[in-house]
Structure 1
Amino acid sequence: MTHEPIPDPVVQVSGAQEIAPGLLVIPNHRAGLVPNIGVIGGTRAVLVVETGIGTANAEQVLAFASEVAAGRRLYLTTTHFHPEHAFGAQVFSGEATYLVNRAQADDLRTKGQGYLEMFRGLGETVARRLDGVTVPVPDLVYDDTHDLDLGGRTVRLRPTGRGHTRGDQVVEVPDAGVLFTGDLAETGQFAIFPWFPPYDTDVSGVGWLAVLDRLAAAGHRIVVPGHGDLGGPEVLTGVRDYLRELRAETWLRRDSAADEAEIVAEVRALLVERHPEWTGHEWIERGVGCLCAEHAEHAGHTEHRGSSAHAG
Structure 2
Amino acid sequence: MAEHVLQDPVVQVTEVRELARDLVVIPDRRVQLVPNIGIIGGREAVLVVETGLGPGNAAKVLEFAADYAQGRRLFLTTTHFHPEHSFGAQVFAGEATFLVNRAQAEDLKVKGAGYLEMFKGLGEPVARRLRGVELVEPDVVYDEAYDLDLGGRVVQLRATGRAHSKGDQVIRVPDADVLFTGDLVEAAQFAIFPWFPPYDADVSGTRWLAVMQRLAAEGAGVVVPGHGDVGGPQLLTDVRDYLRLLRDETWIRRDSAVGEQTIIDEISALMIERHPEWAGREWIEKGVSCLCTEHPA
TM-score (norm 1): 0.93
Q: CA deviation at 1:14?
A: 1.1
Aligned residue number for residue 277 of structure 2:
277
The CA distance in 1 between the partners of 2:62 and 2:3, in whole Å, is 33
Contact 2:79 2:85 in 1 (8 A): yes
Aligned residue number for residue 54 of structure 2:
54
Contact 2:52 2:87 in 1 (8 A): yes
Contact 1:17 1:26 in 2 (8 A): yes
2:32 maps to 1:32: yes
Contact 2:4 2:123 in 1 (8 A): no
Contact 2:5 2:32 in 1 (8 A): no
TM-score (norm 2): 0.98
Contact 2:90 2:136 in 1 (8 A): yes
Contact 1:195 1:203 in 2 (8 A): yes
The CA distance in 1 between the partners of 2:43 and 2:223, in whole Å, is 23
Mapping of residues 1-80 of structure 1, within 5 Å: 3=3, 5-80=5-80
Aligned residue number for residue 91 of structure 1:
91
2:224 maps to 1:224: yes
The CA distance in 1 between the partners of 2:3 and 2:152, in whole Å, is 49
Contact 2:166 2:203 in 1 (8 A): yes
The CA distance in 2 between the partners of 1:284 and 1:144, in whole Å, is 30
Q: CA deviation at 1:176?
A: 0.4
Q: Percent identity?
A: 68
Mapping of residues 1-312 of structure 1, within 5 Å: 3=3, 5-295=5-295, 298-299=296-297
Aligned residue number for residue 304 of structure 1:
none
The CA distance in 2 between the partners of 1:27 and 1:162, in whole Å, is 26
Q: CA deviation at 1:29?
A: 1.3
Residues paired across the two proteins, number: 296
RMSD: 1.1
Contact 1:107 1:166 in 2 (8 A): yes
The CA distance in 1 between the partners of 2:4 and 2:51, in whole Å, is 25
**Structure 1 residues 5, 53: closer, same or farther in 2, change over 3 A?**
closer
Contact 1:51 1:87 in 2 (8 A): yes
Q: CA deviation at 1:139?
A: 1.1
Structure 2: which amino acid aligns with 1:19?
A: L
Q: Aligned with 1:47: secondary structure?
A: strand
The CA distance in 2 between the partners of 1:234 and 1:26, in whole Å, is 21
**Structure 1 residues 177, 110: closer, same or farther in 2, change over 3 A?**
same
The CA distance in 2 between the partners of 1:284 and 1:186, in whole Å, is 14
The runs of 4+ residues in structure 1 deviating greater than 2 Å are 2-6
Q: Deviations over 1:187-214 (max 9, x none)?
A: 1110000011011111011000110111
Q: CA deviation at 1:3?
A: 4.8
The CA distance in 1 between the partners of 2:211 and 2:267, in whole Å, is 23
Structure 1: which amino acid aligns with 2:286?
A: R
Unaligned runs of 5+ in 2: none
Q: Aligned with 1:71: secondary structure?
A: coil
The CA distance in 2 between the partners of 1:154 and 1:5, in whole Å, is 37
Structure 2: which amino acid aligns with 1:193?
A: F
Structure 2: which amino acid aligns with 1:125?
A: P
Bigger radius of gyration, 1 or 2? Answer: 1
The CA distance in 2 between the partners of 1:80 and 1:3, in whole Å, is 21
Q: CA deviation at 1:125?
A: 0.6
Contact 2:103 2:166 in 1 (8 A): yes
Contact 1:166 1:203 in 2 (8 A): yes
Q: CA deviation at 1:136?
A: 2.9
Q: Aligned with 2:239: secondary structure?
A: helix
Q: CA deviation at 1:5?
A: 4.7
Q: Aligned with 1:14: secondary structure?
A: coil
Structure 2: which amino acid aligns with 1:52?
A: G
Unaligned runs of 5+ in 1: 300-312
Q: CA deviation at 1:135?
A: 1.8
The CA distance in 1 between the partners of 2:5 and 2:62, in whole Å, is 28
Q: Deviations over 1:7-47 (max 9, x none)?
A: 11011111111100000001111111010000000000000
Q: CA deviation at 1:283?
A: 0.4
Aligned residue number for residue 310 of structure 1:
none
Structure 1: which amino acid aligns with 2:39?
A: V
Q: Aligned with 2:39: secondary structure?
A: strand
Aligned residue number for residue 308 of structure 1:
none
